[in-house]
Amino acid sequence: MKLSPRFIAHLTEMKFRSLFSLVVFASCLCFVSSLQAQRTLAFKFTAGNEYKLSVSTTTKIAMKYMGQDVETTMQMESGISQYIDSVNTEGTAAITQKITRLKLSVAGGPLGIKLEYDSTAADSQDNPLSDVLRPIVGAEFGLSLSQQGKISNFKAPADLLATLAKQPGSRAFGQMFSEAGFRNMVSQGSLKFPEKALNVGDQWKDHVVLPAGEFGETTVTIEYTYQGIVELDGKMLDKIGMKMTTSIKPAKDATGSQLKITEQSSEGLVYFDNTVGRLDHSTLKQTMTTEVIIGQNSIVQTVTTNVTTSMK
């Protein structure tokens, strides 16, 4: 059968279009691959800029006390402003962070208590909880933060630490409101990056050491896994998996109480906006079962914590 010149031309055009489409498709694949591969993440700072960090934490503690199941729930919401004072030639920023608001409620426990504090409420309860939290609101902390997220030169107000040390209610918070605890609190908008470029699946670690009073000290190992670029709410964000593992180093010559971690798990996600060089938001769920040994007695408790963080 003889094909007409018009049909041959039409067939040739179809082949050309198909080939062109394949070339465009392949180019798109290469472009997407180039976005996902060899990604260097870094914080970016501009002197005079100010950011708002919001942190919401819900903690549930389940334990047996005198043969009964007892549960305590603690909900905490905090606001932190981050002001960039200056940026040096290496990109490291001198930052002033201020705790602008605090809202905390504690309910349950062996005595079934309920305490609340809200720094934004004019009629907030007057209780031991308020006595501890009220001086913290408005406190300013200084630190330096590198482009890779390394914190240095952290300074907590000496008068605040002295005030909190005199408050009997502060003991219930352990080391949360110590200088190390504050350092951990104000650094929640940060995370550590390796200097090398990242591929999907690359992993790296960070370590945070916190005092644990009479129990010694705890080391929190944070393992990050780079998961590539995702689009959320019109923004291209770098997605990073996060897991935390806690270990305890007993105090030297410890003769009193002991703390053991018998089981733990965690799962979190961090979304980083590499275009502007700052955290966008993060989530973390952590479950830990511990045993406190006091003489011949022991208390087993399971602590479940959910933390969400966002920055604007």
**CATH number of the domain within which 105 lies:** 2.30.230
Q: What pLDDT digit, counting tens, does each position of 207-245 carry?
A: 888 777 777 788 889 999 999 999 999 999 999 999 999
What pLDDT is recorded for position 9?
Answer: 44
Does residue 97 form part of some domain?
A: yes
Residue 294 pairs in a beta bridge with 297
pTM of the model: 0.81
Residue 35 included in any domain: no
Mean pLDDT rounded to a whole number for the chain: 83
- Could you give the CA distance from residue 295 to residue 22 in angstroms, rounded to a whole number? 74
Contact 105/114 with Cβ under 8 angstroms? yes
Is 5 domain-assigned? Answer: no
- Sort strands 258-273 and 235-249 into parallel, antiparallel or unpaired: antiparallel
What angle (nearest 5°) sits at the alpha carbon of residue 30, between those of residues 26 and 31? 115
How many CB atoms are located within 10 Å of the residue 292 CB?
15
- What pLDDT score does 17 carry? 43
Within-domain flag for 36: no
Q: Rounded to 5 degrees, what angle do the CA atoms 261, 266, 270 make?
A: 145
Q: Is residue 237 part of a domain?
A: yes
CA distances from 309 to 27, 189, 279 (A): 37, 8, 9
Residue 64 is predicted with a pLDDT of 78
Nearest to 226 by CA among 200, 190, 264: 200
How much is the pLDDT for 216?
78
Q: How far apart are CA 287 and CA 136, in angstroms?
A: 28
75 lies in some domain:
yes
30 found inside a domain = no
- pLDDT given for residue 152 in this prediction: 92
Helix (H) or strand (E) holding 291: strand 278-294
CA dist 25 and 27 (Å) reads 5
Task: Give whole-number Cα distances, 240 to 88, 180, 269, in Å.
Answer: 28, 25, 6
pLDDT digits (tens, 9 = 90+) for 124-168: 667 777 888 888 999 999 999 999 999 999 998 888 888 887 776
Cα angle vertex 270, ends 269, 275, to 5°? 145
Domain that holds residue 53: 41-311
Q: Cβ-count burial of 123 within 10 angstroms (0-12 exposed, 13-18 middle, 19+ buried)?
A: exposed
Number of domains in the chain: 1
Q: How confident is the model at residue 182 (pLDDT cuts 50, 70, 90)?
A: confident
**Nearest Cα to Cα of residue 126 among 134, 213, 51:** 134
Do the domain assignments include residue 114? yes
Give the phi and the psi of residue 179 in degrees, each rounded to 5.
-60, -40
